[in-house]
Structure 1
Amino acid sequence: MTQIDRVAVIGTGVIGASWTALFLAKGLDVITTDVAPDAERQLRQYIDAAWPALEALGLAPHASRSRLTFTRDLQQAVTGVRFVQENGPERIDFKRTLYEQLDTLLPADVPIASSSSGLTMSEIQTSCKSHPERCVIGHPFNPPHLIPLVEIVSGERTSEDTVNKVTAFYTSLGKRTIRLRKEVPGHVANRLQAALWREVVHLVSEGVVSVADADAAVCWGPGLRWGLMGPTLLFHLGGGQGGIEHFLDQFTGPMTAWWKVLGSPELTPSVQQMIVEGARLEASGQSVDELAAQRDQMLLRLLKLRQSGDQPEAGGHV
């Protein structure tokens, strides 16, 4: 594979800015483009704020914020790049127009990866008349400069060679990739958190628990373990020496009984107000920026723990 040392980031909102910070920290030349007013100032401000965390995680040789270029001109942004990370609005008409342009501007061997969480690549790549095979979903989890996960999803016309190239590139950046075998709305990680939050909304709306206590139940219980291992592997540990087989023997009955009574709440105005009031109360007057800074500091410590290879001792309970 041709070395990817120069990348284009299209769209520099929160996700695009975070991708940009990561690419710079990995020692790449990054050309960014966005037509929004004040986009360049906001991008550089975001990168400056993210840089200390990236330094703590370890910068690649030659990593520098000075390797960032900003332009409003799409053609200039993609000239000479070896990879494109697209982060435009979640509108299919916008994506198709953009990809039609990119298809004509880029050499055939330059992959185009979309951060889209709401659209499928099969929908997007229909506008690429010449090389739809080099288009793929590369969906990160926010914020991409800290969270390792990237979901890779092919469209109907995406080539296996593109998937391999993109996977190798993300892996070289320290990302943890997963490959979806089918296109589904929301991909995987967002569907999983949507399923959990649906039950949170149900329990809150039914008066079972407060918003703060529902959040505490997650982050001080299973959420701590999920930061180290996935739920199936943890249930394997929950089965003791008998592993997942023993766990299923013990808990298939109770678990499936719980499934049958999980809620399907509606986010009516009154339910939304309950969630809003609960979240504001839980925030205790802290601003979004203050809470995000706390999140990122804790993420940084967890990532360092993961990098060290430390693992907790296995327990024997669900």
Structure 2
Amino acid sequence: MRATNQQPSAAIVGTGVIGVGWIARFLAAGYDVTATDMAEGAEARMRRGVEQAWPYMQQRGLAEGASLDRLTFTDTVKEAVSKAELIQENVPEREDIKRKVLADIDEHARADAVIASSTSGITPSTLQQDCRHPERFLVAHPFHPVYLLPLVELVGGTSTLQQTIDKAEDIYKQAGMKPLVIEKEVEGHVADRLMEALWREALHIVNDGIATTEEVDAAIIYGAGLRWAQMGPFMTFHLAGGEQGMRHMLHQFGPALKLPWTKLEAPELTEELKEQVIEGSEKGAGPQTVAELEQQRNEFLVKLLDLVEEYWPEPQTIMNNRKKEPTHDG
């Protein structure tokens, strides 16, 4: 991660799995971080989580001045957010809770602060309704583990100013992330909608007895997943079209899209299906605990990120060269 002459301070509201990921990410980039969470025992859990993530941040590279000592915990939202340039909300995924907390943040945040929600599905126009200054609010949706995965989806609502999105984009880049600005808000944003489509199809395949959970995982690990880590679905299919690329791909295989290979709606989540998925997942994990699997995943991601950056340092040119048009101007 690059050090800069001035690193913004960040406030994290909600210190669950996603909140802890944000804390580790910002600390590693040299930020001062203030966190708050009203849950009993939240501070102890938060500090354990950040300490567990820290070795992986060290492997990825720390900014100058990065330190765990720059983390402060407080019991109140007011104290946490009053001095922060960026405020990241990560409370439970319930509209009523998020709107109440965001209104509280908005009341106490400094005038030039950017307020962001990590929501995975709620639209920004919905969440900013109770804010007195909705123009400085946007969705900044990350992916678990936040401290390693660099993608963050930025989505403004109907009242969000373009300058808020631009400022947020710069801050997240300073934190070593790859911001993807989404110009049109939609439930689930982009990446989660894609993952949900695959998840629904995976459930159908298991439910219909076509393959086990382990076989579905293997199909991704040793097939599509290896390609997607570098190129994504569109570039993968572009290569599948040979010398003429996507032009030939769509001409040759486009008609097959009409074939009923996939199912759009999720299957009914019966008790039988739930048990199949649970038992299959536990069997796939074997004797390893979740903590051991997380450690293995993190070690893999560190190596994979190095490889991705070696072959494609800027996988999405739109992340850096997108048009600066004031599409969210209030």
- The TM-score, its normalising length taken from structure 2, stands at 0.90
1:204 to 203, 206, 211: 206
Conservation of the 8 A alpha-carbon contact between 2:82 and 2:110: no
Question: How do residues 1-318 of structure 1 correspond to structure 2 at under 5 angstroms?
Answer: 3-129=6-132, 131-259=133-261, 264-309=266-311
Task: Give secondary structure in 1 for the equivalent of 2:120.
Answer: coil
How far off is 1:165 after superposition? 0.6
The Cα offsets for residues 205-240 of structure 1, whole Å up to 9 and x where unpaired, read as: 111111100110011100111111110011111111
Runs of 4+ aligned structure 1 residues displaced above 4 Å come to 258-264
How far off is 1:264 after superposition? 4.2
Conservation of the 8 A alpha-carbon contact between 2:8 and 2:85: yes
How far off is 1:187 after superposition? 1.4
How far off is 1:258 after superposition? 4.5
CA distance in 2, matches of 1:279, 1:163: 39
Conservation of the 8 A alpha-carbon contact between 2:201 and 2:262: no
Conservation of the 8 A alpha-carbon contact between 1:4 and 1:82: no
Conservation of the 8 A alpha-carbon contact between 1:212 and 1:282: yes
- The TM-score, its normalising length taken from structure 1, stands at 0.93
How far off is 1:259 after superposition? 4.4
The residue number in structure 2 matching 1:315 is none
CA distance in 1, matches of 2:263, 2:308: 36
Conservation of the 8 A alpha-carbon contact between 1:87 and 1:114: yes
The aligned amino acid for 1:153 is V
Task: Give secondary structure in 1 for the equivalent of 2:250.
Answer: helix
CA distance in 2, matches of 1:39, 1:114: 19
How far off is 1:3 after superposition? 5.0
How far off is 1:310 after superposition? 6.3
Conservation of the 8 A alpha-carbon contact between 1:6 and 1:81: yes
RMSD between superposed Cα atoms in Å: 1.7
Task: Give secondary structure in 2 for the equivalent of 1:182.
Answer: coil
Which range moves more in the overlay, 99-108 or 204-213? Answer: 99-108
CA distance in 2, matches of 1:310, 1:170: 19
CA distance in 1, matches of 2:73, 2:249: 54
Could you tell me which runs of 5 or more consecutive residues in structure 1 were left unpaired when the two chains were aligned.
Answer: 312-318
CA distance in 2, matches of 1:94, 1:178: 26
How far off is 1:241 after superposition? 1.0
- Number of equivalent positions: 309
How far off is 1:96 after superposition? 2.0
How far off is 1:307 after superposition? 2.3
CA distance in 2, matches of 1:124, 1:260: 33
How far off is 1:309 after superposition? 2.8
Cα–Cα, structure 1 residues 127 and 305, in superposed 2: closer, same or farther, change >3 Å? same
